[in-house]
Amino acid sequence: MSTTQETPLSGTDRTRLRRSKERGRSERAALYEVLDAGMICHLGVVTEGGPVVLPTGYGRIADTVYFHGSTAAHSLISARTGSVCMTVTHLDGIVLARSAFHHSVNYRSAVVFGEPRLVHDPDEKLAGLRAVTERLAPGQWDVVRLPDRKELAATAVLALSLTEASVKIRTGPPIDDEEDYALDLWAGVLPVRQSFGDPMPDPRLRPGMTVPDHVLKRA
Amino acid sequence: MSTTQETPLSGTDRTRLRRSKERGRSERAALYEVLDAGMICHLGVVTEGGPVVLPTGYGRIADTVYFHGSTAAHSLISARTGSVCMTVTHLDGIVLARSAFHHSVNYRSAVVFGEPRLVHDPDEKLAGLRAVTERLAPGQWDVVRLPDRKELAATAVLALSLTEASVKIRTGPPIDDEEDYALDLWAGVLPVRQSFGDPMPDPRLRPGMTVPDHVLKRA
């Protein structure tokens, strides 16, 4: 894995940052960090009617991300027949500047381009599904009922290689125009956080079932 | 406005839900709610190299959403010359089922399709910028330095009509296969929340500047 981690992110025409180049990161580790901190991505595909962007789960194994969906899902069918763009964004803060123009957000985002392949190999398919499930709900795969033959057949798993990707990160205070620092205005960052609440048990829980440790420790 | 609110969302080929139709909402009020609870959207455009999905700010005025960006921004130029898809997603919970297959998420999402128009009218341009700023940072527009002529010229504002949109919402516990309810497994929902932290003052703040009420009340 270390050789992979040391491979910098590609600089193709699509991934070359045009705006705010100083926010770009070229280390592969930064890509992994942004992807591994997320739970859903926004997947863009092109259909006959134009672009479609849908939120969906994903998982990563080394330099491949996996998506899954019903074999009948429209967006997944489009994804199978062409190029996609997968974006993961973490909103970290609202940047409150002294001028409207310099208002911004602190964020981490990863954008991956490529043509997904439909996974046929049963072992890779299961590994991909595990990766997607574990990204959302770590620890669950080891305890729940795993997919049976029928469920596997109803599920399409797509693999997207992390060969063409870019990462953009903004941190820190607002950057105001020099003369605006003299204004009598408060400026700074309002942090935005994502957290988990207390687990809400299914009303149909069997008696005596307690929240498992792997769920509790996230809440 | 009430006539607008009562106009149900359109059922075009793009917005007709193919999967999980029971999660669709056709009230315009639901669309407004999802949009007005968000701070960033994911905007999908089609470029020569395929789809591109980028996080960006937005604002809503009645049945129009506004985006802004540098006049030189690549994605914004693509958006100006064709159809876009704008998606706002709120992740509300991780749905932990008894089977891997039925793991899911609780969410609210809005998807809007259309061809944005470049805003030329100076009043609408300013109103659009205000809407974008106020979505991220309510109350700021009334206190900060507003855009000057040069900043306005450097900023493109796009308007997208809310004529073709869909809303999808999932709430509630997992839906397991009937026979799986007999399994000795915990199941339920792990709520996901977005919240604000304590405001972090800009290191270059003038002495005596305190956090304004409109910022404090969000934190």
pLDDT (tens digit per residue) in A20-57 = 667 777 789 999 999 999 999 999 999 888 999 999 99
With an 8 Å Cβ cutoff, are A42 and B45 in contact? no
Q: How far is A6 from chain B, CA to nearest CA, in Å?
A: 26
Q: Which residues of B32-52 are buried (b: 16+ CB within 10 A; e: fewer)?
A: bbbbeebbbbbbbbbbeebbb
Please count the residues of chain A. Answer: 219
With an 8 Å Cβ cutoff, are B188 and A205 in contact? yes
What is the ipTM metric for this complex?
Answer: 0.91
Q: Give the whole-angstrom CA distance, residue A23 versus residue A198.
A: 36
What pLDDT sits at residue A72?
64
Interface test with B, best of A202, A205, A214 (most B CBs within 10 A): A202
How do A155-161 and A64-70 pair as beta strands? antiparallel
What pLDDT sits at residue B23?
75
Q: Which two structure tokens, joined as six digits, stand for A30?
A: 């930064």
Series of mean pLDDT values for 10-residue runs along chain A (219 residues): 53 66 80 97 92 96 93 67 93 98 97 95 97 97 96 94 95 98 98 97 96 92
Question: In terms of CA atoms, which chain A residue is nearest residue B102?
Answer: A147
Domain over A2-178+188-194 is classified CATH 3.40.190.10: no
What pLDDT sits at residue A21?
64
What pLDDT sits at residue A17?
60
Closest to B71 (Cα-Cα) out of B159, B151, B148, B160: B151
With an 8 Å Cβ cutoff, are A173 and B202 in contact? yes
Q: Give the class (CATH, top level) of B2-177+191-216.
A: mainly beta
pTM given for the model: 0.92
Option in A50, A176, A184 nearest B209 (CB): A184
Question: In terms of CA atoms, which chain A residue is nearest residue B189?
Answer: A200
What pLDDT sits at residue B9?
78
Q: Count Cβ–Cβ pairs < 8 Å, chain A vs chain B.
A: 315
| A187 contacts A98 by C-beta, under 8 angstroms | yes
- CA angle, corner A133, sides to A208 and B56, nearest 5? 120
Q: Which two structure tokens, joined as six digits, stand for B43?
A: 């905007």
Q: Give the whole-angstrom CA distance, residue B65 versus residue B73.
A: 19
Q: Which two structure tokens, joined as six digits, stand for B196?
A: 């604000």
Q: Which two structure tokens, joined as six digits, stand for B110?
A: 């809005």
What pLDDT sits at residue A2?
36
With an 8 Å Cβ cutoff, are A191 and B183 in contact? no
Question: In terms of CA atoms, which chain B residue is nearest residue A215?
Answer: B190
Q: Residue B9: helix, strand or coil by DSSP? A: coil
What pLDDT sits at residue B3?
38
As to burial, measured by CB atoms within 10 angstroms (0-12 exposed, 13-18 middle, 19+ buried), residue A161 is middle
Q: Which residues of B touch A203 (CB under 8 A)?
A: 173
**What parts of chain B have a pLDDT lower than 70?**
1-7, 10-11, 13, 16-22, 71-79
| B199 contacts A189 by C-beta, under 8 angstroms | yes
What pLDDT sits at residue A143?
96
Residue A77's region, left for phi above 0, alpha for psi from -120 to 50, else beta, is: alpha
Amino acid (one-letter) located at B69: G
Q: Which residues of B touch A219 (CB under 8 A)?
A: 190
Query: What does the domain layout of chain A look like in residue ranges?
Result: 2-178+188-194
| A97 contacts A187 by C-beta, under 8 angstroms | yes
Residue B34's region, left for phi above 0, alpha for psi from -120 to 50, else beta, is: alpha
Closest to B111 (Cα-Cα) out of B193, B16, B20: B16
What pLDDT sits at residue B184?
96
What are the beta bridge partners of residue B96?
B188
- Residue B28's φ and ψ, nearest 5 degrees, are -65, -30
